Chains A and B, each alone.
Chain A
């Protein structure tokens, strides 16, 4: 065995509460990110991502509290992203118990953010999230949640981010996000081919088959999904069974 694919549920959090959450049996509160993450841990999730989609910066303090509570109960890796603009906010989250922080728009605006965080905490702590859209001659990086075009080539940005110290790339296809049509495996392959660090595929998962294809066709090291898990459609355990049935090695 060499490569073991990770399955990563992603929780969108605003003001300390999960935006979309299903009320699992035995869960007191489907809106509590810690409770939901612990549930995914029990189902066999390899890692959990909290994505802070809070608009205002005061409420970001809440995320540090959420991470601090998660550290008491969650014993799998935790990545936190959304609104991290400087090393101080990264430090607060890592000190509270996050294992990695994910940077996106702020890193595009100021790439040294990646080297600053990596310098203080190590490359393994820094995930560079890239939102990309297919264009005529490749893929373009978008920021501000996919609303703003940058004119930057996604492959070139991924290579630069890794050179600056990003330990992992979280790659979302803006074309596929929310469509349930499956990953853009061409995009994943394009990035996997140029970076030496792990790539997490995101955007478009609508079936369990899609998860396996992200690894088999795209070459992703990990697959991230939100809605198929939140709405109780599938459990993480079912996702892994389906991936294993397609020959993907997963922890079960």
Chain B
């Protein structure tokens, strides 16, 4: 079977090459693109992002990607947000007051409390809901299939998404406060950590995403 096409949305910000290479490593035909035709054709899409929320939102809008993101998500196909790519899916962020997010997930991106060191720049162990501890959900999100019960992921961030509907949180980490690590809303899965930089556990998660894209391709 041919590799599923995964569009890594390119709006000119940050190091997207790592995400592309990691997706290729786990079997995707991953392309960095802002071309509407490629994005519409893709079996799955990834929205990466690093740096400032307002700057990223502005770049997404300038690249003409806002409507395409909504179109992709509305179409029900697998969609993943990574880091600021996750944060942009929220309604707004304390980092850039007055800037509207993509508002796919109702809620606010908030600073980690001032009592902890910011950014959290370290590996941390996920507490997967419905995973080993059986807490919160009947079963773990399929993106965690075949991963260890408490996978290690690499985080670099000072803010995190706080959804209005807490049940959309599918994994957290303890950083002296509870941090939102992953959310699920329908076909949208989003992570605060960097799976493309999280060694075997991160690649395992991306493999699950590519497998979901492969089901679309089949």
Chains A and B form a bound pair: yes
Q: Please give, as numbers and ranges, the residues of chain B lying within 8 Å of A71 by CB-CB distance.
A: 17-18, 21
CA distance A95 to B20 in the complex (A): 12
Residue of B nearest to A198 (CB): B121
Q: Is the interface of B mostly helix, strand, loop or mixed?
A: mixed
**Is A167 in contact with B121, judged by CB distance below 8 angstroms?**
yes
Q: Quick check: is B203 within 8 A (CB to CB) of the other chain?
A: yes
CA distance A121 to B55 in the complex (A): 10
Residue of B nearest to A2 (CB): B176
Quick one: which of B14-33 are within 8 Å of A by CB?
14-15, 17-18, 21-22, 25
**Is B117 in contact with A196, judged by CB distance below 8 angstroms?**
yes
Q: Quick check: is B59 within 8 A (CB to CB) of the other chain?
A: no
Residue of A nearest to B16 (CB): A95
Which of A96-104, A142-150, A201-209 interfaces with chain B?
A96-104
**Is A75 in contact with B117, judged by CB distance below 8 angstroms?**
no
How many contacts between A and B, using CB within 8 angstroms? Answer: 89
Q: Please give, as numbers and ranges, the residues of chain A lying within 8 Å of B92 by CB-CB distance.
A: none
Q: Is the interface of A mostly helix, strand, loop or mixed?
A: loop
Taken residue by residue from 1 to 23, chain A's Cβ proximity to chain B (1 for < 8 Å, 0 otherwise) reads as 11111100000000000000000
Chain A's nearest CB lies how many Å from the CB of B10?
12
**Is B122 in contact with A198, judged by CB distance below 8 angstroms?**
yes
Q: Quick check: is A46 within 8 A (CB to CB) of the other chain?
A: yes
CA distance A31 to B45 in the complex (A): 38
A76 and B199 contact, Cβ closer than 8 Å, known pairs A2-B174, A2-B175, A124-B156: yes
**Is B198 in contact with A97, judged by CB distance below 8 angstroms?**
no
Q: Please give, as numbers and ranges, the residues of chain B lying within 8 Å of A77 by CB-CB distance.
A: 154, 156, 194, 197
**Is A122 in contact with B51, judged by CB distance below 8 angstroms?**
yes
Q: Please give, as numbers and ranges, the residues of chain A lying within 8 Å of B122 by CB-CB distance.
A: 3-6, 198, 221-222
Q: Quick check: is B52 within 8 A (CB to CB) of the other chain?
A: yes
Q: Quick check: is B58 within 8 A (CB to CB) of the other chain?
A: no
Partner pick for B123 among A2, A6, A95, A98, CB 8 A cutoff: A6
Interface size class of B (residues with CB under 8 A): 20 to 34
CA distance A198 to B198 in the complex (A): 19
CA distance A68 to B199 in the complex (A): 18
Q: Quick check: is A72 within 8 A (CB to CB) of the other chain?
A: yes
Q: Quick check: is A160 within 8 A (CB to CB) of the other chain?
A: no
Partner pick for B15 among A4, A76, A97, CB 8 A cutoff: A97
**Is A221 in contact with B203, judged by CB distance below 8 angstroms?**
no
Quick one: which of B117-134 are within 8 Å of A by CB?
117-119, 121-125
CA distance A46 to B201 in the complex (A): 13
**Is B123 in contact with A251, judged by CB distance below 8 angstroms?**
yes
Quick one: which of A143-170 are within 8 Å of B by CB?
167-168
Question: Which one of A2, A3, A96, A121 has the highest number of Cβ atoms from chain B below 10 Å of its Cβ?
Answer: A2
**Is A121 in contact with B51, judged by CB distance below 8 angstroms?**
yes
Partner pick for B203 among A75, A96, A97, A198, CB 8 A cutoff: A75
Chain B's nearest CB lies how many Å from the CB of A120?
9
Quick one: which of B151-196 are within 8 Å of A by CB?
152, 154, 156-157, 174-176, 194, 196
A76 and B156 contact, Cβ closer than 8 Å, known pairs A2-B176, A71-B18, A98-B15: no
**Is B14 in contact with A122, judged by CB distance below 8 angstroms?**
yes
Residue of A nearest to B203 (CB): A75
Taken residue by residue from 78 to 104, chain A's Cβ proximity to chain B (1 for < 8 Å, 0 otherwise) reads as 000000000000000011111100000
Supply 22 A–B pairs (Cβ within 8 Å), ascending by A.
A2-B174, A3-B122, A4-B122, A41-B199, A46-B123, A71-B17, A71-B18, A75-B198, A75-B199, A75-B203, A76-B154, A98-B15, A122-B51, A122-B52, A123-B119, A124-B121, A125-B50, A168-B121, A197-B117, A197-B121, A221-B117, A222-B122
Given pairs A95-B15, A124-B51, 6 additional interface contacts (CB within 8 A): A5-B122, A75-B198, A76-B154, A97-B17, A122-B14, A124-B157
**Interfacial residues, chain A to chain B (CB-CB below 8 A):** 1-6, 41, 46, 68, 71-72, 75-77, 94-99, 121-125, 167-168, 196-198, 221-222, 251
Question: 9 tightest A-B contacts by CB?
Answer: A122-B51, A2-B176, A251-B123, A97-B17, A124-B156, A251-B152, A4-B122, A198-B121, A77-B197
